[in-house]
Structure 1
Amino acid sequence: MRRTWGAVRRPRTLAVLATAVCLVLAGATASTGAVHVQHASDRSVQAAQAVSSAPVSVGVTAVSPPTTAGRPTSPAPRPHRADAASRRPPTGRVVYLTFDDGPDPHWTPQVLALLARYHARATFFEVGSQVRDHPQAAAAVRAAGQAVGNHTGHHQRLTDLDATAMREAVLAGPRGTTCLRPPYGSVDHRVRALAAQLGLTIVLWNVETDDWAKPGVASIEQHLLHDVRPGSTVIMHDGGGDRSQTVAALRRALPVLAARGYRFEAVPGC
């Protein structure tokens, strides 16, 4: 009977021992796997931290907007367009119209009539011989409230004259004015010195209409409409020849400039 019991008991003991060993091994494997998982997780966190802390390159296209010549290619904002009914002519715009070589009995009255229509003042740089030959036209300029400037006695180029002749030429111009426009715009240190001695201010221009050359009404009008800016001094002519083109261009341009908000005044100090 002992043998039978011993033979039966020994296998059960071995089975129990085998089960215990398996449990120990399973626990060890699970613990090792957990350690591996933890290590893998730590490595993932470290990698993510390394990426986030690395400096960003300027040339990375994923974070930089596409550019053209150093500027974003996004479309530019469209300009605001005011409703026609809400637009108003700009204020504070002044242009100085000037007329040379008169007075002329035919053309000067036509220029004066246009200026009066648009409540415009201008400055007439008159030639002394013309004033003497056409006193009524000269008187009409002053009666209309227009300013008068000195354009010498006979339209001489002052820089070609000696000191005595230069002085005589200026003194032969219109009286009662404080402004001098040297013919052809020719000025040097001698002309400036003489003007200062006589108490005259030299007045030139910055918008040339070329009307003296009779380039056509459209050309003169274009200069008036496209070259004039606030504060511009414009040179035209009411004498010295046929000024029909000047009168026609002025007739077209004055209402347009007035609609743009320009007002027409005499050169200050003249």
Structure 2
Amino acid sequence: MGDNRHPTGVVFAEIVKANIPVQNGVIHLIHKPLMIVDFTVKQFIEYKYKDKEDGILSKFYWAIQDLGDAGQEFLRTIERSNEVTLFAPNNAAWDDANLKNVMQDRQRMKEILDTHLVPGQSLSVDNIISRNRKQLFRVPTLAKRRNLYFNVLATKTERILTVEGGGVNATVVQENFAATNGIIHIIDRVLGVPYVTILEKLKTDPLLNDTFFLGSRQGFNSQLNKTDKKFTYFVPRNKAWSDAKISLPSVIKKLFMPQFTYHRGFLDLLV
């Protein structure tokens, strides 16, 4: 928990001497108190991970470097900002084969990088959750005309935050890394590079569960996995179905009942 002097978020400290045995446990000596935040977002990316192949953001760092001047401008934008939120893809996210061709296009890669940066705001997960309660929360990114959208799945034991940008849904796998000028969340996919079919999108996006369920009847969804055809699908998100249940309760109830088969015809109107 942060205050006016200490930013909200997780703080890293280097272990300078490990595994000191004592009678009732073990001690590790660290180089600074864990309440001290002394990295900017840019320094967090550069200093912490650039020389470590196994560092969780090393591939993200080198993707920035491979952009040359555009990559350096991206880092300068972060450094000049008083507040930013960075959604940084982990190493596994960069292993997707669909990224290889995209990474050769510097202009597109710059737009993809910009999609991961929210300027002017330092958004912790708690902040995102509180702003997402009454309506779908979205924020503009550094990329022109590209927003990020959030969804939270909460149970008694855990909470899962997903973020969507440029048609890609990613999960926050490590949250709230504190920096002096913002906060970093580590995600499991690169935003802005669609690499799934419509069916896979419906399966994995928690905002679209109801439409996926409805389409699983009568085999409607099976066509959405084809890659030799192009589709435009107007998909009602879960909230749209919830609102419809209030205004048209009997109609929506019947639409989702297995004994009624006309839902296939209804979905055909959306594709």
Higher relative contact order (CA 8 A, sep 6+): 1
TM norm structure 1: 0.21
Answer 1 or 2: which has greater strand percent. Answer: 2
TM norm structure 2: 0.21
Q: Return the index of the structure with the highest Cα Rg.
A: 1
